[in-house]
Amino acid sequence: MATEIVMPKLGLTMTEGLINNWLVKEGDTVAAGQPVLEISSEKLTSDVEAPSAGVILKIISQAGDTVPCKKVIAWIGEAGESIPGMETEEVSANKSESDKGAVDSEPELAEKTVAASSYTVGKSEQGRIFITPLARKIAKEKGYDISLISGTGGKGRITRRDVENYKPEALPNQTPESSSAVLQHAGQVDYGAGLTGMRKTIAERMMTSLQTSAQVTLHRKVDISRLMAFRQDMKDKVASPLENGEISITTLLTKAVAKALKDHPQLNAWYFNGQYQEVEDIHIGIATALSDGLVVPVIRHVDKLTLADLGLAIKTEATQARKGTLDPALYSGSTFSITNLGGAGVEYFTPILNTPEVAILGVGALQTALALDSQGQVYEQKFLPLSLTFDHQVVDGQPAAEFLASLADKLESPYDLVF
């Protein structure tokens, strides 16, 4: 029996995926687990594997199509095997197309010979515009009004080539207001218009985050002089080399965040589709920069990991994310995120929420200052700038400030992080 290949759901908020590229074609024989296409969603590019061995019987959605999660995009099975429901659907579709698209031969001929400047397009008698999914997507990205594009396909259908060859011309009565009206008619703002792949996904995610939450950022610096002394003490006393980030600032900070979230569970939560949910497990996303974008690998059950295990997990996942080999499941499910711009010399900034999370911590560059002790002696202090963004819809300023204060206490008592 033929097996369906569906658009996977890789994250809590993922509703659709973009097909970047098919790695196989109809008629190809594939093995179970073999990558058959590449998709983009949720800030990552991921391969979709064949659910079973067999022949690619039918590819339903093409490269460039955006497809809802769980929708069938292809079929795999034995050579010559029929696809469930496909014959019935094709007959019905053909009949519908014949009924709706039937026009006199003379008007059809006239439509094909009309100049592009007359804005004649492929429409049925009912006014429906015939256009391929890929052509519609390209037109949307370019901001074209498809009603102005002439179609050269069957029954005047608009193809990808028609959109690419289309040259917009100003209409005599066109105004800035009419262009705006076209965008409003689309039903929603096209975030990331003109972008593709991971860059478009990031644009959509960031703009959606800003438009659906009340984001406020608190800034605070924490004295980590004792933390730095603790790190040096551990290096001096531990015989084996510490090569997996066991006592790196990122590892110690992540552990401190987990402990602070235990004390302030209202920030270890999701707010999605009108539902606020505190999460018992602590899964922290660590923002990782790539050459072409940004991903957020998730370290699971941080509160239950030792410093050695946590350091190794952060190092391993970051490396795999940069190589593109990280398990797609580890890009979703985070309950809180950390993003670090300290390496770029930035002190404070305003990180954007990684929705549906309700808080994210930004980490700045380590600062050094001189101070006087009780004996009037000069000594060096180390400060770490922190920026906490939270969703004021569900978290107020006071509990957010208390979380930051708790985090500062954890960092200023570094030996407690070991237990």
Whether 327 is a known active-site residue: answer no
Q: How far apart are CA 250 and CA 258, in angstroms?
A: 12
Both tokens of residue 238? 């531990």
**β-pair partners for 294:** 289
Total residue count of the chain as it appears in this document: 419
Give me the sign of the Cα torsion angle 13, 15, 21, 27: positive
State pLDDT tens for residues 44-56.
677 889 999 999 9
CATH 4.10.320.10 fits 133-165, yes or no: yes
State pLDDT tens for residues 293-321.
888 999 999 999 999 999 999 999 999 98
Give the model's pLDDT for residue 42: 56
CB 288 within 8 A of CB 348: no
- The residue ranges of every structural domain in the chain are 3-77, 133-165, 197-417
Catalytic position from the list 28, 47, 223, 392: 392
Whether 396 is a known active-site residue: answer yes
Q: How far apart are CA 288 and CA 327, in angstroms?
A: 15
* pTM given for the model: 0.65
- The residue among 352, 400, 363 whose CA lies nearest residue 248 is 363
Q: How far apart are CA 50 and CA 56, in angstroms?
A: 9
Give the model's pLDDT for residue 106: 41
- The residue among 327, 329, 328, 349 whose CA lies nearest residue 338 is 349
Q: How far apart are CA 202 and CA 262, in angstroms?
A: 30
What distances in angstroms separate CA 115 from CA 120, 144, 148, 167, 312, one per listed residue?
8, 18, 12, 12, 65
Both tokens of residue 380? 């060096």
197-417 shares the fold of 133-165: no
CATH number given to 197-417 = 3.30.559.10
Give the model's pLDDT for residue 101: 47
Catalytic position from the list 99, 263, 281, 396: 396
Please identify, in words, the CATH class of the domain defined by 3-77: mainly beta
DSSP-derived pairing of the beta strands 3-6 and 54-59 = unpaired
Q: How far apart are CA 403 and CA 397, in angstroms?
A: 10
Ranges of residues in the chain with a pLDDT under 70 are 11-13, 41-44, 85-128, 154-155, 169-188
CB 140 within 8 A of CB 149: no
